[in-house]
Homo-oligomer: A and B are copies of this chain.
Amino acid sequence: MSPGGSSALPRSVDVAKLAGVSQKTVSRVFNDEPYVSADVRRRVLEAADQLGYRLNNAARALASGRTRSIGVVALGTALYGPASLLIGIERAARDTGYALRVVSTVEGDPTGVAGAISSLLDQGVDGIVISEPIDDGPVPVKIDVPVLVLGAPPSFSGPRVINTSVHAYDMARIATEHLLDLGHATVHHVAGPQRWFASKDRLDGWRAALQARNAAEPPVFEGDWSPDSGHAAGRQLARTPGVTAIFAANDDMAIGVIRALTESGLRVPEDVSVVGFDDVPVAAYVTPPLTTVRQPFDAVAREGLALLVHAIEKPAEVVPAAVGQPVDLVVRASTAPPPA
């Protein structure tokens, strides 16, 4: 073996030499630029293949000033909603040709979202997605790339911020109306943590539905998305007279609520109806099968990413508004008319 022999990775000059063209031509081929003859293109590709050449992304980023990657601020949780959304973002990003850098906000980290954004900016990204945002106070970071906020009301604003909503508000409203339509006098709500915009949205939707029907607004229970917190709320609700309908802000809490009701001797849906939110895979297989709301994570991610890429690639143009995505109420067996 010659010293340093075959270990060094080939560079575009090596490909150029082998193909008998200039280095610039290799660059043209790898960037799909026009004005390269079919013959030259083929020769370059062949040489590259033979050498095992890969474009050096760092050099490309340095020279062009663009990283071709998007940063995601995710939540460090395996909750069905956030996890599904992250997958949708990954898929959508790949389709647009952007790579993904992911940072999670840590529970209890004082720097929160701002720290995550700062870290992404350090890494170098052309745009940022804030997925399932939580209200973390102001974000004191100078952000010089477009930001997409997925699923939040426009409270998170700025010069280059794009907001899309997952229509959680409408969905919560529809879920609540479903219960009202069945004849329930009012609907109790087990909310998520109020720092999450998703929780606020659902709370507001629930409230709006009650107000539109002049239904009394009972006190809200605030859970933490866990079945455990749903269970705790359910135990209290079971002791509260007149509770016939409950809307939980996610399926896990709904399942906890149902268990607590059942343990207290109440039947679901004969005595109390329960609606969840998310349509987790097991929702159809718990007892009773859960009426819930299905969110179009993939479509939301795809629409949002398209807008973000637009903002990245055409900074001068105005970003079109998000259309929003339709949602489904999935009626199963956990809801029924109130007891006579």
Q: Which of the residues B103, B123, B227, B262 comes within 8 Å of A284, measured between beta carbons?
A: B227
Report the nearest B residue to A256, measured CB to CB: B285
Check if A281 sits within 8 Å of B252, measured CB to CB.
yes
Chain A, residues 237-276, CB within 8 Å of chain B (1/0): the string is 0000000000000001001101100100000000000000
**Complex Cα gap A178–B284 (Å):** 29
The answer to whether the Cβ of A318 comes within 8 Å of any Cβ in the partner chain is no
Number of copies: 2
The answer to whether the Cβ of A215 comes within 8 Å of any Cβ in the partner chain is no
Residues on B with beta carbons closer than 8 Å to the beta carbon of A90? 74, 76, 102-104
Check if A231 sits within 8 Å of B285, measured CB to CB.
yes
**Complex Cα gap A276–B124 (Å):** 43
**Complex Cα gap A144–B59 (Å):** 18
Check if A9 sits within 8 Å of B255, measured CB to CB.
no
The answer to whether the Cβ of A185 comes within 8 Å of any Cβ in the partner chain is no
Check if B144 sits within 8 Å of A56, measured CB to CB.
no
Check if A58 sits within 8 Å of B62, measured CB to CB.
yes
Check if B94 sits within 8 Å of A83, measured CB to CB.
no
Q: Which of the residues B52, B55, B87, B228 comes within 8 Å of A142, measured between beta carbons?
A: B52
Q: Which of the residues B55, B78, B259, B281 comes within 8 Å of A83, measured between beta carbons?
A: B78
The answer to whether the Cβ of A99 comes within 8 Å of any Cβ in the partner chain is yes
**Complex Cα gap A27–B90 (Å):** 34
Check if B281 sits within 8 Å of A259, measured CB to CB.
no
**Complex Cα gap A258–B255 (Å):** 16
Residues on B with beta carbons closer than 8 Å to the beta carbon of A285? 227-228, 230-231, 255-256, 258-259
The answer to whether the Cβ of A77 comes within 8 Å of any Cβ in the partner chain is yes
Residues on B with beta carbons closer than 8 Å to the beta carbon of A58? 58-59, 61-62, 67, 124
User: How many Å from the CB of A31 to the closest CB on chain B?
Assistant: 13
User: How many Å from the CB of A265 to the closest CB on chain B?
Assistant: 14
Residues on B with beta carbons closer than 8 Å to the beta carbon of A104? 87, 90-91, 94
- Would A101 and B100 be within 8 Å (CB), given that A62-B59, A87-B78 are in contact? yes
Chain A, residues 188-215, CB within 8 Å of chain B (1/0): the string is 0000000000000000000000000000
The answer to whether the Cβ of A122 comes within 8 Å of any Cβ in the partner chain is yes
Known: A56-B62, A57-B124, A58-B62. 9 other contacts (CB 8 A): A99-B119, A101-B102, A227-B285, A228-B284, A252-B282, A259-B286, A262-B287, A282-B282, A286-B286
Q: Can you list 13 A-B contacts (CB < 8 A)?
A: A57-B123, A58-B67, A59-B62, A62-B62, A87-B104, A90-B104, A94-B104, A99-B119, A101-B101, A227-B285, A259-B286, A259-B287, A287-B287
